[in-house]
Amino acid sequence: MEPAQTMVKITFVQDDGTRQEVDAQPGLTVMEAAKTEDVPGIEAECGGACACATCHVYVEPEWREAVGPPSEMEEDMLDFAFDVREESRLSCQIRISEALDGLVVKVPSKQF
Amino acid sequence: MSDTSPLQAADDETGAPIETDALIIGAGPCGLFAVFELGLLDIRAHVVDILDKVGGQCAELYPEKPIYDIPALPVVTGQELTDRLMEQIKPFGATFHLGQQIDALSREADGRFRLSTDRGQVFITKVVVIAAGGGSFTPKRPPLEGIEAYEGTSVFYSVRRMKDFADQDVLIVGGGDSALDWTLNLQPIARSLTLLHRRDDFRGAPHSVEKMRALVASGAMRLLIGQATVLHGADGRLERVTVKTKDGEEPVVSTRMLPFFGLTMKLGPIADWGLNLEENLIPVDTEKFQTSVPGIFAIGDINSYPGKLKLILSGFHEAALMSQAAHRIVHPDKKLLFQYTTSSSSLQKKLGVR
């Protein structure tokens, strides 16, 4: 048997304030963790190719430094998201590590 | 379009209905491979796609991204896969009708199908193959309240006639080539022009960015860094748009708005063709990949059946079985002999290798 991998907690906060905490495996992306647990509002139309901007999330202020800024390619793709803010990221481009245990991200009211 | 493309462009200006054996809706990998499988069985095909290029999602969403699960190709990009398929189907001379969407489908008295595109091209075909993937690519509509009411009168997602923008207060939103090109093209004829982008960094061609910045510097147009938040107007006539910038909110007088936020996939008119649908997918059987209407097949990501996997390789398999069933409709009197391309003289002749 494989050694049990330490799971990381990630909380998704919907526009109406609903919180959903999921156990995520390090190495996956935040988008994959959301899709695995059926988190509403993360569409990921392109399946994680950084090609559609429908997995847009807002990173809570205290987590922005740990998560880091978007790459140039991701910035370009964020042009296709709506209501983009400084804390905007595409969740398919956030790789989960143990350093992100407890991460809180907000799901926008609408992906488009 | 790549250099290797044997694309045979259609002359759709004649307006005459095109009669064919098969009409394939969608020029993604499954639609392209369907040309091959149908072609081996002497079924001629025309292909329609709403994009102005072939390849579907492979070309539009991830042309540069690697795909690792195509049999015998350990790694291939979306564009390479498209180019290779175009090379493979070259012998069958399918005609492509790009930049068009099939709007309507009906049945003729003789059992064939009549389909028409949004540009007025009509097809009469014995079988229809829906290989439309995630649906048709359509411009993204910004989620601004009430925007639908202005579409087609004040808000446009493409420019069909430049004169619709003459002497108007034009607001263009976006930072790619479409936004920049139309900024440069419409600025000379507009009453005023404002380009709005969320950041002071553009994806478009550098020389377009330079030209735009020169126009801004000379006072011929405005560049605003921010996002549109509220539309104001009445009866489909836009008057102004509230723009949120880092300095606060500002009303921008706008009688025309052109949002360029890329494309998204929508099922579109397929929903109105009387086919059974389940959650925007088309249920098919797994012998023929036929829909609830005999003669209309669905392959690739758009279909559903127990165990369905949305993989390109599944779509290829579906194209092969669909073609067998299509043969019985297109050539009812011909016996279908199962043959291998490796050894069959007749198949090799069709492929032009013999």
**Selected residue with higher pLDDT from A82 and A5:** A82
Helix, strand, or coil (residue B5): coil
pLDDT for the residue numbered A4: 61
- Across the interface, whether the CB atoms of A82 and B201 are under 8 A apart is answered no
Give the span between the Cα atoms of B306 and B290, in whole angstroms. 14
Kindly state the average pLDDT of the residues B177-193. Answer: 96
Helix, strand, or coil (residue B150): helix
Count of structural domains, chain B: 2
**Burial of residue B182, with CB atoms counted within 10 A of its CB: 0-12 exposed, 13-18 middle, 19 or more buried:** buried
Confidence band (pLDDT; 50, 70, 90) for A3? low
Q: How does the average pLDDT of chain B come out, rounded?
A: 93
Question: What distance in Å separates residue B114's CA from the closest CA in chain A?
Answer: 32
In a domain? residue A111: no
In a domain? residue B11: no
Confidence band (pLDDT; 50, 70, 90) for B1? very low
Query: Which of B198, B249, B310 to mutate against chain A (most A CBs within 10 Å)?
Result: B198
The B-side interface with A (CB below 8 A) comprises 57, 61-62, 65, 134, 140-143, 174-176, 197-199, 201, 203, 227, 261-262, 264-265
Give the span between the Cα atoms of B257 and B182, in whole angstroms. 11
State the residue range of the domain holding B166.
141-260
Between the CA of residue A76 and those of A2, B65, B78, B145, B262, what are the distances in Å? 39, 16, 20, 25, 11
How many C-alpha atoms does B270 have within 13 Å on its Cβ side? Answer: 31
B207, B181 Cβ separation under 8 angstroms? no
Is residue B3 predicted with pLDDT exceeding 50? no
Q: Do both B169 and B221 map to the same domain? A: yes
Kindly state the average pLDDT of the residues A53-63. Answer: 95
pLDDT for the residue numbered A1: 56
CATH number for position A76: 3.10.20.30
pLDDT for the residue numbered B249: 96
pLDDT for the residue numbered B239: 98
Cβ contacts of A54 on chain B, cutoff 8 Å? 264
Q: Do both B271 and B128 map to the same domain? A: yes
Q: Tens digit of pLDDT for each residue in B123-152?
A: 999 999 999 999 988 898 988 999 999 999
Helix, strand, or coil (residue B102): strand
In a domain? residue B101: yes
Helix axes B29-40, B78-89, angle to 10 degrees: 20
Between the CA of residue B94 and those of A67, B42, B283, what are the distances in Å? 49, 12, 27
- Across the interface, whether the CB atoms of B264 and A45 are under 8 A apart is answered yes
The residue type of B7 is L
Of A46, A78, A112, the CB nearest to B142: A112
DSSP per residue, B32-63: HHHHHHHHHTT--EEEEESSSSSSTHHHHT-T
Q: Does A80 touch chain B (CB under 8 A)?
A: yes
- With a CB cutoff of 8 Å and minimum separation 6, the contacts of B74 are B68
In a domain? residue B182: yes
Q: Tens digit of pLDDT for each residue in B6-45?
A: 455 555 555 799 999 999 999 999 999 999 999 999 999 9
pLDDT for the residue numbered A47: 82
Placement of tokens 């479409």 in the chain? B178
Q: Tens digit of pLDDT for each residue in B287-331?
A: 999 999 999 999 999 999 999 999 999 999 999 999 999 999 999
Give the span between the Cα atoms of B348 and B43, in whole angstroms. 16
pLDDT for the residue numbered A112: 73
pLDDT for the residue numbered B31: 98
Count of structural domains, chain A: 1
Q: Do both B97 and B26 map to the same domain? A: yes
Q: Do both B246 and B330 map to the same domain? A: no
Q: Do both B146 and B294 map to the same domain? A: no
Give the span between the Cα atoms of B259 and B243, in whole angstroms. 13
| Complex ipTM value | 0.82
Which residue, A48, A72, A78, A91, is CA-closest to B262?
A78
Kindly state the average pLDDT of the residues A89-106. Answer: 96
- Across the interface, whether the CB atoms of B265 and A45 are under 8 A apart is answered yes
**Selected residue with higher pLDDT from B14 and B76:** B76
Which residue, B224, B213, B272, B289, is CA-closest to B251?
B224
Cβ contacts of B198 on chain A, cutoff 8 Å? 78-79, 84
Is residue A69 predicted with pLDDT exceeding 50? yes
CB pairs under 8 A between A and B: 48
The residue type of B70 is I
Is residue B5 predicted with pLDDT exceeding 60? no
Kindly state the average pLDDT of the residues B239-265. Answer: 95
Cβ contacts of A45 on chain B, cutoff 8 Å? 134, 264-265
In a domain? residue B303: yes
Kindly state the average pLDDT of the residues B97-108. Answer: 96
Which residue, B276, B265, B220, B229, is CA-closest to B249?
B229
Question: What distance in Å separates residue B170's CA from the closest CA in chain A?
Answer: 20
Cβ contacts of A82 on chain B, cutoff 8 Å? 142-143, 227, 261
Question: What distance in Å separates residue B318's CA from the closest CA in chain A?
Answer: 22
CATH number for position B244: 3.50.50.60
